[in-house]
Amino acid sequence: AAPLVVAVSTSISARQGLLIRDRANFEGARNLDAVVFDKTGTLTKGEFGVTDIFSESRYANEELLQLAAAIEQNSEHPIAAGIVASAKHQNVSIGRVSDFESITGKGIQGTVDGQKVNVVSPGYVNSNDLSYNHNRFNKLSEEGKTVVFVLVEDRLVGMIALADIVRDTAKEAVAALKAKGIQSIMLTGDNRKVADWVAKQVGIDEVYAEVLPDDKANHIIKIKGKGWKVAMTGDGVNDAPALATADLGIAIGAGTDVAIETADVVLVKSNPNDVVTLIDLSKKTYRKLV
Ligand code: ADP
Ligand code: MG
Domain that holds residue 88: 49-163
188-205 pLDDT tens trace: 999 999 999 999 999 999
- Across the range 230-247, mean pLDDT stands at 96
How many whole angstroms from 107 Cα to the centroid of ligand 2? 14
Average the pLDDT over each of 1-5, 37-41, 52-56, 270-274 and give the range with the smallest value: 1-5
129 lies in the same domain as 79: yes
172 lies in the same domain as 144: no
Q: Kindly name the residue from 38, 190, 235, 239 that is annotated as catalytic.
A: 38
Please state, in angstroms and as integers, the Cα–Cα distance from residue 225 to each residue in 122, 124, 230, 246, following that order: 31, 30, 10, 11
Atom of ligand 1 nearest to the CA of 210: 10
| Mean per-residue pLDDT over the chain, rounded | 94
Closest protein CA for atom 15 of ligand 1 = 121
33 lies in the same domain as 87: no
* Residue 290 exposure: Cα atoms within 13 Å on the Cβ side: 7
Active site residue 274: no
Looking at 135, 163, 191, the residue that finishes a domain is: 163
Question: Given this model, what pLDDT does residue 163 score?
Answer: 96
Closest protein CA for atom 26 of ligand 1 = 107
Is residue 119 in contact with ligand 1, taking CB distance under 6 Å?
yes
Question: Given this model, what pLDDT does residue 1 score?
Answer: 47
Cα–Cα distance for residue pair 161/48, rounded to 1 Å = 10
79 lies in the same domain as 24: no
- Across the range 1-16, mean pLDDT stands at 68
The domain spanning residue 183 has which CATH number? 3.40.50.1000
38 lies in the same domain as 100: no
57 lies in the same domain as 39: no
> Does 290 have pLDDT greater than 80?
no
94-151 pLDDT tens trace: 989 999 999 988 999 999 999 999 999 999 999 999 999 999 999 999 999 999 999 9
Atom of ligand 1 nearest to the CA of 237: 7
Is residue 105 in contact with ligand 1, taking CB distance under 6 Å?
yes
14: confidence class by pLDDT, cuts 50, 70, 90: confident
Number of structural domains the chain divides into: 2
* pTM metric for this prediction: 0.87
* Residue 263 exposure: Cα atoms within 13 Å on the Cβ side: 28
36 lies in the same domain as 173: yes
207 lies in the same domain as 124: no
> Minimum-distance ligand to the CA of 210?
1
How many whole angstroms from 41 Cα to the centroid of ligand 2? 5
- Across the range 243-259, mean pLDDT stands at 96
In degrees, rounded to 5, the angle at the alpha carbon of residue 230 between the alpha carbons of residues 225 and 231 is 150
210-219 pLDDT tens trace: 999 889 999 9
Q: Which residues surround ligand 2, an ion (CB under 5 A)?
A: 38, 40-41, 235-236
56: confidence class by pLDDT, cuts 50, 70, 90: very high
How many whole angstroms from 212 Cα to the centroid of ligand 2? 12
How many whole angstroms from 26 Cα to the centroid of ligand 2? 22
127 lies in the same domain as 57: yes
Question: Given this model, what pLDDT does residue 225 score?
Answer: 98
> Minimum-distance ligand to the CA of 137?
1
Closest protein CA for atom 13 of ligand 1 = 190
Burial label, 16 (beta-carbon count in 10 A; 0-12, 13-18, 19+)? middle
173 lies in the same domain as 38: yes
Looking at 127, 148, 163, the residue that finishes a domain is: 163
Mutate to test the pocket of ligand 1, among 103, 121, 258 (most ligand atoms within 8 A of CB): 121
The domain spanning residue 137 has which CATH number? 3.40.1110.10
Residue closest to 39 by CA, chosen among 158, 143, 181, 192: 192
> Minimum-distance ligand to the CA of 141?
1
Looking at 138, 163, 188, the residue that finishes a domain is: 163
In degrees, rounded to 5, the angle at the alpha carbon of residue 275 between the alpha carbons of residues 184 and 81 is 85
33 lies in the same domain as 133: no
Question: Given this model, what pLDDT does residue 105 score?
Answer: 87
Amino acid at 130: L
Atom of ligand 1 nearest to the CA of 38: 2
Closest protein CA for atom 24 of ligand 1 = 107
192 lies in the same domain as 257: yes
5: confidence class by pLDDT, cuts 50, 70, 90: low
- Across the range 149-170, mean pLDDT stands at 97
